[in-house]
Amino acid sequence: MIFSGKTCWVTGAASGMGKAVSIALAQKGAKVIISDRDPIGLEACAQIIRNAGGLCRTEVLDMSDNKSITEIANKVIADGEQVWGLYQFAGISQRSLVVDTPIENDRKIMEINFFGVITLCKVLLPNMIANGGGQLAATSSIVGKFGFPYRSAYSSSKHALHGFFESLMAENSKNNIKVSMLIPGRVQTNISKFALNSDGSEYGKMDPGQANGISSEKAAKIIIKGLEKQKKEILIGGKELLMLHIRRFFPSLYYYLATRIKPV
């Protein structure tokens, strides 16, 4: 079991896949550092882990604040934590057409989904290398592989993660740094509830397709199994994953379907 005795940091741990993966890692014998902007949800996750006899440290973290991310990560390192695994689930989505989306929304989504993610990674990576290696996982999406209506900035931010982490992986294979991209389809999480409308307000509800998706707990089992096998890409979901294969092998069909997919 690759996680036993290791220290693993999970972002977005107050709910959804981040919470489920944090609990699963603790069950595998890892000490977990869990982060989220929601202190109440974060503490609830921590209590589940501690009540089961697991080791857990909490750090309230706003992924839109690069300065805070850097300060907290450096404090964790200064405290002597040797982070072996970094698994990032924190993120924000959108529900608006390109023509209606102000650039401020695009920047906010990129700040959280891309710059926040790579900032935390950049702070921890040198220590991982110095400690002999580690494992990184970033949460993309099936729309990190293709464009999708009402998701222009979200899709762009996830595409960017692939470019960054694939480059990082190529540079650091000699340093024993393993990288996995998590590619979920429909999973029952809160991401659609907190998605941005064109006016910057929260969408406030779960999409019907997402509500019928797999549970966060089932997603966590798939993720943990994939991480144990050190898979480069871990697909998470149901029949909607078929779109990945359509986009790859039948691009003309994808372009046809993309204009006919319901945006939510």
Query: So which residues are the catalytic ones?
Result: 154
Alpha carbons 255 and 122: distance in angstroms, whole number: 36
CB 40 within 8 A of CB 47: no
Element (H, E) at 59: strand 56-60
Phi, psi of 106 (to 5 degrees): -60, -45
Greatest Cα pair distance in the chain? 54
For residue 209, what are the CA distances in angstroms to 20, 36, 212, 264? 20, 25, 5, 7
3-state DSSP assignment of residue 225? helix
- Structure token digits, residue 150: 């009402």
Tell how far CA 117 is from the center of its chain.
8
